[in-house]
Amino acid sequence: MVTTDPTRGISHGVYLPAGSGAWVSTSDKNKKKNFEKVDSTEILEKVACMPVEKWSYSAQDDVRHMGPYAQDFNTAFGLGEDPLGINTVDADGVLFAAIQGMYNLHQQDMLKLKNYISILEARITQLEQQIS
């Protein structure tokens, strides 16, 4: 078991707060480097093409899981330390970017629809004036 204590500066990248049932990943911007913007629409497209299946680990007959395979994730994104594993920080980051990509596409579609509605309303007004 790895013991971490962020109050003393001892950290392995994650810690389990007292009384909590979930790990906290270190994500302080001051502890990061080599920043690079991502194209959220491109990330969304890669996520959409990635196989996601239900499966069981070989050692767990009756336990079901769901998710992508590390090999596909690594091919699509090239993130993390191990091409046969998916780091939860990377999975979270990819999903955040994909959600942003979906939001951006939604905003673009809504703008197109609003413009189209305006054109149709103007045309209806013009037609109503012609028959009056």
Residue 55 and residue 23 share a domain: no
**pTM (global) more than 0.75:** yes
Residue 60 has pLDDT above 90, yes or no: yes
What SS3 class is residue 17? coil
| Inter-helix orientation angle 70-77/88-131, to 10° | 70
Q: Roughly what angle, to the nearest 10 degrees, separates helices 40-49 and 70-77?
A: 150
pLDDT at 1: 43
Domain count, the chain: 2
Domain that holds residue 81: 39-106
Say if residue 45 is in the same domain as residue 95.
yes
pLDDT tens string 68-105: 999 999 999 999 999 999 999 999 999 999 999 999 99
Please check whether residue 56 lies inside any domain of the structure: yes
